[in-house]
Amino acid sequence: MVQPSAMKTLHEKVADTIERDPSLLSIPLENIDRWLANGHTAPHRLEQWQTILQAAQASPTGFKSLLKLLRAESEEAVHLKSFDPFPGVLTLEERREVIKQCAYAH
């Protein structure tokens, strides 16, 4: 059984994955472009993410800020992450692993 301290949220797993391979930042940026082109219902949130992701690509400070945001549990961070553009960063198996760990915790 997984110990609670070892469990990670989906966003923490995304942060770990992007930290290992920053080139994966292209995936959420492509998602944002596609969703904005298709008339997403919350364009301001996607544009906010776009700014954060572009800053992460542009500088080490921006990259660290993105990782900190993905790992944060503040109300503001949780709200922003509810509009996250990260589908495709994790494999289906990685997503299932995290979801399975969460199920054990409840």
Q: How many structural domains is the chain composed of?
A: 1
pLDDT at 6 over 80: no
pLDDT at 40 over 90: no
Residue 55: domain span:
4-105
Distance separating alpha carbons of residues 74 and 69, to the nearest angstrom: 9
Burial of 45 (0-12, 13-18, 19+ CB in 10 A): middle
Q: What is the pTM of this model?
A: 0.84
